[in-house]
C-alpha cells in the first residue's frame, strides 16, 4: 500500500470563512502555519460558515485501488469554555455529494482531527480515481458564544488536507509473440 497527501491548491465551491495572513482562504490552510495564516469564523454571530478547497490531481497510477481517504483539519477555539464547533467538509463533485464529519470542539490549543472514509458515501462503493481527482476538501466553523455577555469566540483552522491510501495496480503486462524467422 502507498499514500499520497493532497493540500488545498485553489478555491472550491464555498469561501465563507475569513482569511487571516493570506489573501485567499485556501492559502491560509495549505500548510501548518498555526497563527501565521488561518481561516476563522465570524466574530459577530454563531452561524456556520463553510470553506471548500480544490486539491491537485493525484499522481496515483491508473488501475490502482483506493483503500481510503483520510480527511484532516487542524483547528482551535477562541475560548476553552465557549468553544467553536468544527466539521470536516468534503465534496465529491463527480456525484454532487457534500460530506460532513465531526462536531469537533477543541480548546485554545491547535488540535489535529481526522476521519478515515473507506468508501465514498455518495455511492457506498470504493472511491474511484475519478472521484478522488474531483474531490474538494474543507472545513466548517460556528463560533462559540458566552450567552450571559453575548461575547463571541471565533474558531480558527490553520491546516486542511487529505491522505489517499491506495494499492498500486499491477503494471501493464507486456506480451510478446514468438515468430519463427524461417517463415519469412
Q: What is the pLDDT along the chain (184 residues), one digit of tens a residue?
A: 899 999 999 999 999 999 999 999 999 999 998 789 999 999 999 999 999 999 999 999 999 999 999 999 999 999 999 999 999 999 999 999 999 999 999 999 999 999 999 999 999 999 999 999 999 999 999 999 999 999 999 999 999 999 999 999 875 444 445 555 565 5
| Helical H segments across the chain, by residue range | 129-133
pTM for the full model? 0.89
Residue 162 β-bridge partners: 6, 71
Domain positions in the chain are 2-183
Q: What integer pLDDT is reported at residue 34 of this predicted model? A: 79
Grid look-up 469537533 returns 104
Contact indicator for 135, 10 with CB cutoff of 8 Å: no
Report how far apart the first and last C-alpha atoms of the chain are (Å, whole number): 47
Half-sphere exposure of 74 (CA within 13 A, CB side): 19
Residue 113 β-bridge partners: 73
- pLDDT one-digit tens code per residue, 89-110: 999 999 999 999 999 999 999 9
Q: How many CB atoms lie within 10 A of CB 122?
A: 16
| Helical H segments across 44-168, by residue range | 129-133
**Backbone φ, ψ for residue 183 (5° rounding):** -75, -10
The architecture that CATH gives domain 2-183 is Sandwich (2.60)
Q: What integer pLDDT is reported at residue 174 of this predicted model? A: 45
Grid look-up 483506493 returns 66
Q: How many CB atoms lie within 10 A of CB 87?
A: 20
Give strand ranges (E) for 134-174.
135-142, 144-146, 151-153, 155-167
Q: What integer pLDDT is reported at residue 175 of this predicted model? A: 47
Amino acid at each position: 500500500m502507498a499514500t499520497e497527501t493532497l493540500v488545498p491548491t485553489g478555491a472550491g465551491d464555498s469561501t465563507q470563512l475569513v482569511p487571516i495572513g493570506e489573501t485567499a482562504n485556501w492559502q491560509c490552510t495549505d500548510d501548518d502555519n498555526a497563527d501565521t495564516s488561518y481561516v476563522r469564523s465570524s466574530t459577530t454571530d454563531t452561524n456556520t460558515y463553510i470553506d471548500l478547497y480544490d486539491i491537485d490531481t493525484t499522481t496515483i497510477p491508473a488501475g490502482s485501488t483506493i483503500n481510503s481517504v483520510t480527511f484532516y483539519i487542524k483547528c482551535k477555539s477562541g475560548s476553552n469554555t465557549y468553544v467553536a464547533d468544527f466539521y470536516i467538509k468534503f465534496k465529491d463533485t463527480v456525484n454532487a455529494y457534500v460530506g460532513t464529519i465531526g462536531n469537533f470542539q477543541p480548546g485554545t490549543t491547535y488540535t489535529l482531527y481526522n476521519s478515515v472514509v473507506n468508501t465514498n458515501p455518495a455511492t457506498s462503493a470504493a472511491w474511484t480515481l475519478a472521484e478522488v481527482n474531483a474531490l474538494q476538501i474543507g472545513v466548517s466553523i460556528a463560533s462559540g458564544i458566552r450567552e450571559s455577555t453575548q461575547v463571541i469566540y471565533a474558531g480558527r483552522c490553520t491546516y486542511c488536507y487529505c491522505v489517499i491510501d491506495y494499492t498500486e495496480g499491477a503494471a501493464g503486462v507486456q506480451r510478446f509473440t514468438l515468430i519463427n524467422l524461417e517463415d519469412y
